[in-house]
Amino acid sequence: MITAHNYRDIPCDNTDCSYIGYSHKNLTYHKIRFHGHGKKPTEFAHHTCPYSTCKVSFQFQTMLQRHLDVHENRVLSCNYCQFRNVVSVHMHKHLMDHFKIKNFICDICSSKFSTKHMFARHLRNVHGTDDFECVDCKFTTEKLGLFQQHRKSCKERLKHSRIL
């Protein structure tokens, strides 16, 4: 994984942040999610980050703690590559991907998935029974994937935009 994905330690250069990314993609994602516009204070966000350079607030103390774990680089590390994350569920999924463990098998088409979420998304998108109808041309399909593909190229929808 290290050589295939060019993983290496890349520290965040923002003040008050000890986060160390494992790739440029990972560090860019961190900077956008963590140092970008951020979560704006709301009437429900009573837990404010104590770092003076950080202006985010959270509704729950647990969300603030996860945020502080990123600030202070208290992360879970993969023993096989440089992947790091503060969320244990994400680390579990990463390890399942590492070892190509796919415990969820579709009874309909025998496709295999490493997480329950990916399996549920497959069932909804590929084998769903709900009808999806285009509001512009009344195209109807049972498959979400086909519906989304149609919406990208629907001539009725596009003729009302600047794309055509």
**Predicted pLDDT at 137:** 92
> Locate tokens 């399942």: which residue?
96
Look at residue 164 and tell me whether its pLDDT is greater than 50: no
What CA–CA distance (Å, rounded) separates 47 from 155?
Answer: 48
Segment 45-92, tens digit of pLDDT: 788 888 877 777 888 899 899 989 988 889 899 998 888 888 998 899
To the nearest whole percent, how much of the chain has pLDDT over 70?
90
Segment 17-54, tens digit of pLDDT: 888 888 888 888 888 877 766 555 567 778 888 887 77
Domain architecture of the chain: domains with CATH: 2-98 (3.30.160), 102-164 (no CATH)
Look at residue 144 and tell me whether its pLDDT is greater than 80: no
Instruction: Give Rg (Cα) of the chain.
Output: 21
Stated as kind and residue range, the H or E segment containing 119 is: helix 116-127
pTM as predicted: 0.58
DSSP state of 151: H
Task: Specify the range with the lowest mean pLDDT, choosing from 3-17, 19-33, 82-96, 130-144.
Answer: 3-17
DSSP state of 135: T
Query: Which whole number is the average pLDDT over 93-118?
Result: 91
Stated as kind and residue range, the H or E segment containing 105 is: strand 104-105
